[in-house]
Amino acid sequence: MFKRIFLTTAITLALSTPALASHCPMDAKAIDAGLENTQLNDMQKSEVMALRDEGMKLHNSGEHRQAEQTLAKAMRMLLEAGKM
């Protein structure tokens, strides 16, 4: 019984990891779209772009948790500007 539960859990985690990993490119596209219509000044825009680029770099190197956190920070900056 324990072996069955363990295998089910392992399979579920293995299948869900790629789904979570593909979240980052969608966030990056949302950031790109938000930058087109934002009230941020040039310095803030460059900070958002740096966070976006760093998030995608982390995503591409397999560090998805850190990538999501970095992209979320960029999205928060856009949301605070009121245009995302």
**Domains of the chain: which residue ranges?**
22-81
Q: Please report the pLDDT score of residue 84 as a whole number.
A: 44
Q: Please report the pLDDT score of residue 60 as a whole number.
A: 93
Q: Please report the pLDDT score of residue 1 as a whole number.
A: 56
Tens digits of per-residue pLDDT, 21-61? Answer: 567 889 999 999 888 888 889 999 999 999 999 999 999 99
Q: Is the pLDDT of residue 7 over 50?
A: no
d(CA 54, CA 29): 14
Q: Structurally, what CATH architecture does the domain formed by 22-81 represent?
A: Up-down Bundle (1.20)
pTM of the prediction? Answer: 0.71
